[in-house]
Amino acid sequence: MSSDARRVEVHPGKEAVVEFDPELTFECVEECTWCCHHGVLLYEPDFLALADCANLAEATTSFRGEDFVRQERKDRDDHVDENGDACFFLREDGLCSLHADHDWKPARCSVFPLTVTVEDDEIHVDVRESAHEHCEGLDVSERRVVDNLDAFLPAVLWELDDPETRREL
Ligand code: SF4
Ligand code: SF4
């Protein structure tokens, strides 16, 4: 990965403009699960890949022409939404069943706690506003985000008509 000021080559020929402090570090904190309380937008390649891991009729829902991992009621008090719901794939032990059983997760889950916007046809990446308040994994390790952007920004984002991360269920 090479960098030129705040422009970083994340995958060969695919650059992102980094808007956050390059000293930012991140390591997901076990048992946190805060970011798994919502429904996850599935890009078309994710939707197709998910078909190999799960029953789409059970696990997904459509809203305004887009596909999402649906939420379901969870027997837990924390990190659920106001209805007590969280992501269909969030297990009781706090792990993601897709990640645990299939070593895979939707692109949108990889991006968190970052957020993607597009300006002048370039992908810009910053820390999601809600993550500053809720994500426990920011600045708790030595793992600089800017050095590991390929783990957060799957190459598929550069193939999408609209890779912006503003949409949630
Ligand atoms: S798919 Fe997995 S990582 Fe993504 S929100 Fe659901 S439980 Fe969390
Ligand atoms: S909110 Fe942050 S620390 Fe918590 S599960 Fe999500 S990415 Fe990990």
Taking the centre of ligand 2 as the mean of its atom positions, its distance from the CA of residue 12, in whole angstroms, is 28
Query: Which residues, judged by CB distance below 6 Å to any ligand atom, belong to the binding site of ligand 2?
Result: 28-29, 32-35, 112-113, 134-137
- Would you kindly state where each structural domain of the chain is located, as residue ranges? 3-159
Measure 113 CA to ligand 1 centroid, in angstroms.
Answer: 13
Measure the CA–CA gap between 166 and 116, rounded to whole angstroms: 8
Q: Ligand 2 centre and the CA of 29: distance in Å?
A: 6
**Which ligand is closest in space to the CA of residue 136?**
2
pLDDT value of residue 5: 54
> pLDDT value at position 58?
97
Give burial (CB, 10 Å; 0-12/13-18/19+) of 74.
buried
| Minimal-distance CA residue to ligand 1 atom 8 | 36
Q: Among the bound ligands, name the one nearest to the CA of residue 85.
A: 1
pLDDT tens, N- to C-terminus, the chain (169 residues): 555 559 999 999 999 999 999 999 999 998 788 899 888 999 999 999 999 999 999 999 999 999 999 999 998 777 788 889 999 999 988 889 999 999 999 999 999 999 999 999 999 999 999 999 999 999 999 999 999 999 999 999 999 999 999 877 6
Q: List, in sequence order, the alpha helices (H) in the chain.
A: 44-50, 56-59, 97-102, 107-111, 129-134, 149-152
